[in-house]
Structure 1
Amino acid sequence: MPVVQLADGELNYRLEGPEGAPVLLLSNSLGTDLHMWDAQMPAFSEHFRVLRYDTRGHGHSLVSDGCYSIEDNGRDVLALLDALDIAKVHFCGLSMGGLIGQWLAINAGERLDRLVLCNTAAQIASPDVWNPRIATVLRDGQAAMQALRDASIARWFTGGFAAAEPGKVEPLVAMLAQTSPQGYAANCAAVRDADFREQLGAIRAPTLIIAGSADPVTTVSDGAFMAERIDGAQLLELKAAHLSNVEAEERFTQAVLAFLEA
């Protein structure tokens, strides 16, 4: 698998699709890896040069010491683009990936063409949610990741979808169970500390916001908050919980393609 060498380790990535096509960068959610986008790849790679990567602390990318920040993760993206000599991309990120997209749009807007923020918020939950989770994961290690795997089924998918589509649910929650506890906890801290509520007005990229009607983590109200503060942003509500690209696969894929090719 190709990697980019960062100052403190390797960032795993895949670059697929026709050479010369516009580049679409996909950023994974907390507890998943670049394979969370597998369902979108056949359609996306027909139209775009698709760049996927494992966020620091996930998949086959580096697990560095200490807490991370969304800025750290955003600068990893910039380093990846620089290493691959890519000047500008469309960006699509889900949950934590959406936070990374917000940071990039606010701080490095010249590197983005169009922006898709999926199942995310300008601030996700509160320290009261994140701090106990961080403490538990650091204390119990892989056992805690297995417990999170079981609990996340109800957050990531509606009950009906989870019961009807175990073949789609299992690979996603397996990613969480296999995530480095250290890397997961460090990224929980990054999500905990991210707050872009007062900076959204600085985003100039054309923006599509996707929210899940049954998402208990980042709600439709969170999506509407962002849409009201990002000039010209569009808000799309899908019938899904947190991983709308999996649960509402066809509509999600069609909506993103239509927006990016507008």
Structure 2
Amino acid sequence: MSPLHYLVTRDNARIAYRLDGAAERPLLVLSNSIGTDLHMWDGQIAALSEHFRVLRYDARGHGASSVPPGPYSLTRLGQDVVELLDSLGVQRAHFLGLSLGGFVGQWLALNAPQRIERLVLANTSAWLGPQEQWDARIAEVLAAADMRGTAATFLANWFPALWLETSRPEVEPFRATLLATNRHGLAGSFAAVQEADLRSALHDVRLPTLVVAGQFDTVTAASHSELIAQAIPGARVFTLPAVHLSNVEFPREFEGAVLDFLLAP
């Protein structure tokens, strides 16, 4: 496994990241969902690193990154990526983000488009309102005695019921990550999604964009992917018969679609 590196951001957060693939290849940034860490992409590294230098990182509040006091803003999460690129001396990179990572990708497309070559937005949304519903989720996470209930809710939203009933081995690393996740990191990240409404702004995006949807996604419905693709000129949708973590449920199909898009002339 590639070594873990750290970046200290301008606001003193510590962001953990890994690099895989030859240094001379184009850079591809992978951005994780709420409640996961950079290991959510473990299954994709072999295929993606054949063609790219792959940068994956733990979003602030997750994994080996620090847990600054919340709430977090989407702007700050986007700036973490810009600072990572700056620290590596990379002017432009491809970007693949899932769920919260997809929100970050949309922010970058709108606020730092000169840094992004091609954009993949997976199982995400431009708006997950109304804002009031997030107040209850944030309060519930912060008040819970432990992470077991939160973990069960997340897993039920991420994977097919049959996977949970039959204890599929793919699920267990995600359960362990959730149980170890700092509740303040979750709550801070919920706040970033709570404030985000990018629907009208997406018409200004001018980057080549692929949107990956999960047909059975109950978190970021396939209709949300369709709306993003309709808003971004030239964007297209690739739909998998998946729930929320489509890269875990259908890894080969997911990788194939991403590589076809990123490697197209």
Q: When the two structures are superposed, what TM-score results if normalisation uses the length of structure 1?
A: 0.96
Alignment gaps of 5+ in structure 1: none
Aligned length: 260
- How do 1:199-238 and structure 2 match up within 5 A? 199-238=201-240
Deviations 1:118-171 (Å, cap 9, x if unpaired)? 000101243243211111222226x1x221111222210111333456210111
Q: In 1, distance between residues paired with 2:255 and 2:130?
A: 30
**Deviates further, 60-69 or 157-166:** 157-166
Q: Given the alignment of the two structures, is residue 43 of structure 1 paired with residue 47 of structure 2, yes or no?
A: yes
Report the Cα offset of residue 3 of structure 1.
0.4
SS at match of 1:46: coil
Q: In 2, distance between residues paired with 1:258 and 1:146?
A: 39
- How do 1:46-195 and structure 2 match up within 5 A? 46-140=50-144, 143=146, 145-164=147-166, 166-195=168-197
Q: When the two structures are superposed, what TM-score results if normalisation uses the length of structure 2?
A: 0.95
SS at match of 2:179: helix
Q: Given the alignment of the two structures, is residue 240 of structure 1 paired with residue 242 of structure 2, yes or no?
A: yes
Give aligned-pair identity as a percent: 47
- Contact 2:213–2:222, Cα closer than 8 Å, also in 1: yes
Tell me which of 1, 5, 16 is aligned to 1:2: 5
Report the Cα offset of residue 19 of structure 1.
1.4
Report the Cα offset of residue 101 of structure 1.
0.1
Q: In 2, distance between residues paired with 1:110 and 1:161?
A: 41
- Contact 1:89–1:113, Cα closer than 8 Å, also in 2: yes
Deviations 1:191-221 (Å, cap 9, x if unpaired)? 1111100100111110000010000011111
Alignment gaps of 5+ in structure 2: none
- Residue 118 of structure 1 aligns with an amino acid whose one-letter code is A
RMSD: 1.2
- Contact 1:125–1:217, Cα closer than 8 Å, also in 2: no
- Contact 2:35–2:62, Cα closer than 8 Å, also in 1: yes
- Contact 1:19–1:49, Cα closer than 8 Å, also in 2: yes
- Contact 2:70–2:187, Cα closer than 8 Å, also in 1: no
- Contact 1:114–1:260, Cα closer than 8 Å, also in 2: yes
Tell me which of 243, 253, 256 is aligned to 2:255: 253
**Deviates further, 231-240 or 5-14:** 5-14
- Contact 1:161–1:247, Cα closer than 8 Å, also in 2: no
- Residue 205 of structure 2 aligns with an amino acid whose one-letter code is I
